[in-house]
Amino acid sequence: MKRRMHAALLSVLALILGAGALVLTTAGTASADLAGDVTLTPTSGTTTDLPAFSHLSVSAPCPAPYQDTLDVLVTLPNNTDGAVALHLASGAPYSGTPITADVPAASGGGIVVRSIATAFQIGHQTIVDGTYPVHVVCRSNDAANTDRPTFTTFIEITGSNWAVKAVTPPTATTVTLDAAPVGHSVVGQDVTLTAKIDPDTAVGTVDFIRDGTTTVSSGTVSGGTATATITGVTDPSVYNYTARFVPTDPLSFGPSDASITYDFVAEPTLTVLDDSGNILDGTPVLDAGQKINLTAEGFLPAPTGSATPGESVAVTLDDGTAALPDATPDTAGKVNNYLVTLPADIADGDHAIVLKGATSAIEQSFPFTTGTSDGTTAGTTTGTTTGTTTGTTNGTTAGTTAGTTSGTDDGGTTAGTDDGGTSAGTTDGGTTAGTTDGGTTGGITGGSGGSGGDLSGGTSGDLGGGSTSGSGGTTGGGQGPLAATGADGIIPLSLLALLLAAGGGYAVYRVRRDGKLLTFGPTPRD
């Protein structure tokens, strides 16, 4: 069976995930200025001195676990950082108060040493007079620790000389980075990164960087927020994204950054085969003890470039009533050829095998039945529907049609002239009699019909007929069907009476106007 769990299931699924099982968009510790005084020795020199200074100290310790090495950076005119010294470790671990480090005269042994002029040159910047921040950054030897706790001082460059300058420290900033959809996305879908800068009055830009090296987007901070849209990810993988705030004026606001990891998963699919290799579609009927093979895509993959498998996947039958081992996906988050043997004592009825990501809570399900539940359901549904529909329709249609037709055909034509409705009442047994007799009589006041046929049409059909007629239809009078049929008969009789009355009135009018109407007593025409 092949099932595609489209974006919508995953949106539901995303709501389930939002319940707290996993939030991968938690902002990392921002790179922010730490409180501490930085002392450079000597306190002045030329921009070409190597090293630029020979010793430094900070009045506060580096926070754990960033106590292994120190970097010294100078902020360039384009707001990027140029390295003056990297990987200093002479005073490590930098956990005491104060922390100190010597700067060697040249690079070597993993340490990089440059003059201020060289730092500008490598950054493709021209030295101009002004005040520049100098950062002492605490580092960890563990590459997984990507934050940059920073102490800051300032130098002023005039011509080819520099000197330490006492200035008011810039306002520290922090970055919070989030991604939408939350937690993970299906490959091929767009992902929105949102960086929020605190304080929101900070002015600058945010660079969005993937895996520490590739800038995927840059945006201007507006109201404390900058966004980027990630497109074109086609392979399931886990990426690290960093939002790095670069202040427009480093003397007013300090730089900061934050990182998250984000997963792109394959579109979820579940394929189930029987032990003959046939695909099981829909909700198949399986046998106790039957063997099936499951292959599922769409779980969390391994980090980019990692050889480790994806997240562990729990497999359960009927919410864990049967013990099944966890599945281990490949690096792309795919479970391959997971074998399940149904219990020999599995009960007849509906069942489901569920695969659920241990970290992501992504879930896929294979429903099936055992036993004869399909046959029972089909029989019950068919019998009930057919019987009810046929009986109701046929009964109602036959009764209504017969009563209406008989009353219309016989009324005022045969019974009024012939037998006053006696035969019709007897033959139709009350159901037809009311309709037939009610319209049989030719006289206007003849027979009331619908009352059950007790008053039948007159023997001659003239005015006033019906006083001595037979009592046809008494055997069926007073029944429910008769009442309905009589009502149908009264309608055409009423119409006939109205037509006769109208015609008679018009005839009287014409005869009187012509002076041919028989009158008694004196009239204006005498």
Please, which residues have CB within 8 angstroms of residue 418's CB and are 6 or more apart in sequence? none
Rounded to the nearest 5 percent, the helix, strand and coil shares of the chain are 20, 30, 50
415: tokens are: 């019974």
Contact 272, 36 (CB under 8 A): no
- The residue extents of the domains of the chain are 38-164, 172-265, 269-371, 390-500
The DSSP 8-state label assigned to residue 403 in this structure reads: H
At residue 42, the pLDDT reads: 96
Angle at 179 (CA atoms; ends 176, 185), nearest 5 degrees: 160
Contact 357, 299 (CB under 8 A): yes
- Output the pTM of the full model: 0.49
Closest alpha carbon to 236 in 177, 326, 295, 309: 309
At residue 405, the pLDDT reads: 40
* Predicted confidence pLDDT, tens digits, the chain (526 residues): 444 434 333 333 333 333 333 333 333 333 557 889 999 999 999 999 999 999 999 999 999 999 999 999 999 998 889 999 999 999 999 999 999 999 999 999 999 999 999 999 999 999 999 999 999 999 999 999 988 899 999 999 999 999 999 888 789 999 999 999 998 999 999 999 999 999 999 999 999 999 988 999 999 999 999 999 999 899 998 999 999 999 998 889 988 999 999 999 999 999 999 999 999 999 999 999 999 999 999 999 988 777 888 899 999 998 777 779 999 999 999 999 999 999 999 999 999 999 999 999 999 999 999 986 444 444 444 444 444 444 444 444 433 443 344 433 343 333 333 343 333 333 343 333 333 333 333 333 333 333 333 333 333 333 333 333 333 333 333 333 333 333 344 444 445 445 544 555 554 455 455 544 444 334 443 3
102: tokens are: 């010597």
Segment 198-222, tens digit of pLDDT: 999 999 999 999 998 899 999 999 9
Judge whether 172-265 and 269-371 match in fold: yes
CA 268 → CA 274, 300, 489, distances in Å?
A: 20, 11, 69
Q: How far apart are CA 126 and CA 130, in angstroms?
A: 12
Q: How far apart are CA 197 and CA 206, in angstroms?
A: 9
Q: What is the CA radius of gyration of the chain?
A: 49
Domain 269-371 sits in CATH at: 2.60.40.1930
Contact 303, 349 (CB under 8 A): no
284: tokens are: 């198949």
Please, which residues have CB within 8 angstroms of residue 370's CB and are 6 or more apart in sequence? 285, 286, 287, 288, 342, 346, 347, 348, 349, 351
For 328-376, the three-class secondary structure string (H helix, E strand, C coil) is CCCCCCCEEEEEEECCCCCCCEEEEEEEEECCCCCEEEEEEEECCHHHH
Contact 55, 73 (CB under 8 A): no
CATH topology for 38-164 is: Immunoglobulin-like (2.60.40)
At residue 495, the pLDDT reads: 52
Q: Which CATH architecture has domain 172-265?
A: Sandwich (2.60)
